[in-house]
Chain A
């Protein structure tokens, strides 16, 4: 058993995939913190679906599976979806949830229309396009991991450079406006960071599950601290651990898909945090309520003795 584990850890493919999903989890933990704090957790869900038509159009234009072009297409269609959703929500009576649901399904529908058209068209180069829907982590190459790491490093640098701006905009957009912060620009940059994170994860985790990576780590981290910096660091750690652990479990077993396994590991960490965090946790709160009840009963009985 130990030998098997050692060979697994020494295995090149495992190292590449685990590192890739780990970095991906780390990034989505950091970027997702902004999304969950702004109560836009499900924006990631809508935008990941909205990236699909961009992939299809990218392929149609060059007729080859060139990752850069496909991801650029995904970026553009994701940003277009962001703009439509924000206009619908801000300028008229349409609620955010309706706008998200509508854009999510019509963009995804468009993606399917284009992908089906490509599949009906005989072209050997198209194989693997539908992997973007479910993701295929085992197909990750070390060049993919390098790209994720490079783009991710840039994004983390931006988070550090614009720490103050992002923070004030996340917690108090009105105040940010009075400071003459260009809120529209900050919002656009934040949405772009979310879209880029999603796109980095599309190939390995897939359209449907990447949104879970954006929400889970920050929700788990939020239970352990009230400070943005610490929450972000914990979220990055949780994301990284889920990525590596999910890849590990799926490589040990047979026929276990990586993306869903990562999500299940992540969910387990979220539920443990919700239950056992020392201050906000459900258990801690129950104990506190019991203690208060006891104190109250004590005080009451003391009062009775006195009278």
Chain B
């Protein structure tokens, strides 16, 4: 495979793997928790690295996922004190975890080969250089394999627990009454978000992961009322955005992940303005029509 094909393939797979859990984040209104997770997994990576001293160890993945879950738990514990509002709880926890990670990295920067810049921004163009070698055979870029496994995991999770995810998303009280625990489903979803964030950080960087998760799902949400159609549209948007992003990044000679994030923002904004059902244009047309009708009824206008 040539390098451009490999990069495009990785970009598409990362984009779809991130977008799938994003569907439920957008519907549940918890996208900012994923923003927090994508920042705090850095702490998990750093801590696990101190233990293993190996950047390729699978322990890094486990450590980071655990810290992601700890973030969710800490945010919820703070929210349950009712002393701070929901969003303020997020705004307190994640900068704290993130700061601890940065202090640790800077303090031991001389000893470790771990760069905060790389974690925050990532670089897809370097992904093909990190190869996975099995039994002495080069089987392809490492990122391609890890993200494919994560994509498969996310896909299976949504396929197998579709009913549970759907009912807890739209009516948590009803779900609890028929014996589906919203808490367990919530933490399962957050596990998948954490895993995806960890897997994606070295190709995409932790801040842009949020856009990969939210953008396609939000665009799909603006176009349809059916959950299944929304998932399908999300996958299509993820693919189109990532392919267009890679092409544009190559022609402008700049960061690929950043360009995909820009394209994602643009497509989503276009859908936001022009969506036939829930778009901005439609909403203002409806509002004007209603106003006219009310005015007519009141006799203010003929």
Contact = CB atoms under 8 A, between A and B. Distances in A.
Contacts, number: 212
Contacts of A104: 35, 207, 210-211
Contacts of B120: 133, 208
Interface string A3-21: 0000000000000000000
A157 interface: no
Contacts of A87: 280
Contacts of B253: 117, 120
Interface in A80-107: 84, 87-88, 91-95, 97-98, 100-107
A116 interface: yes
Contact of A116 (B209, B258, B283): B258
Contact of B214 (A98, A114, A208): A98
B30 interface: yes
Given A94-B218, A255-B107, A267-B92, A105 B207 contact: yes
B123 to A, nearest CB: 9
Given A91-B284, A260-B103, A219 B210 contact: no
A261 B90 contact: no
Contact of A209 (B99, B107, B209, B269): B99
Contact of B109 (A103, A134, A255, A274): A255
Nearest to B253: A120
A37 B22 CA distance: 28
Nearest to A93: B278
B192 interface: no
B59 interface: no
Interface stretch (A40-48, A71-79, A138-146, A293-301): A40-48
Nearest to B35: A101
A: interface residue count bin: 35 or more
B265 A41 contact: no
Contact of B258 (A93, A110, A208, A267): A110
B96 interface: yes
A265 to B, nearest CB: 10
Given A98-B218, A130-B117, A219-B84, A264 B99 contact: yes
Contacts of A108: 207-208, 211, 258, 261
A100 B32 contact: yes
Interface stretch (A166-174, A193-201, A210-218, A233-241): A210-218
Given A106-B266, A113-B258, A209-B98, A98 B31 contact: yes
Nearest to A92: B283
B71 interface: no
Contacts of B26: 95, 98
A247 interface: no
A134 B266 contact: no
A92 B96 contact: no
Interface in A109-133: 109-114, 116-117, 120, 130, 133
A28 interface: no
Nearest to B101: A260
Interface size class of B (residues with CB under 8 A): 35 or more
A112 B120 CA distance: 11
A105 B261 contact: yes
B257 A274 contact: no
A107 B116 CA distance: 20
Interface in B69-84: 78, 81, 83-84
B85 interface: yes
A218 to B, nearest CB: 8
Nearest to A87: B280
Interface string A207-231: 0110110111001001100000000
B264 interface: yes
Contact of A109 (B35, B81, B218, B262): B262
A107 B268 CA distance: 13
B252 interface: yes
B85 A36 contact: yes
A211 B96 CA distance: 11
Contacts of B52: none
A116 B26 CA distance: 30
A280 interface: yes
A26 to B, nearest CB: 18
A54 interface: no
Contact of B102 (A105, A117, A257, A267): A257
29 contacts: A36-B88, A41-B90, A92-B222, A92-B283, A101-B34, A101-B35, A102-B214, A103-B265, A105-B214, A109-B208, A109-B260, A112-B208, A112-B257, A113-B254, A113-B255, A113-B259, A114-B254, A117-B252, A134-B116, A208-B95, A208-B207, A211-B91, A216-B95, A219-B84, A219-B88, A222-B83, A261-B99, A263-B95, A267-B99
Q: Which 5 pairs across A and B sit closest by C-beta, in order of nearness? A: A106-B265, A109-B261, A105-B211, A212-B95, A260-B99
Interface of B: 26, 29-32, 34-35, 39, 78, 81, 83-88, 90-92, 95-96, 98-100, 102-103, 106-107, 109-110, 116-117, 120-121, 207-215, 218, 221-222, 249, 252-255, 257-262, 264-266, 268-269, 272, 278-280, 283-284
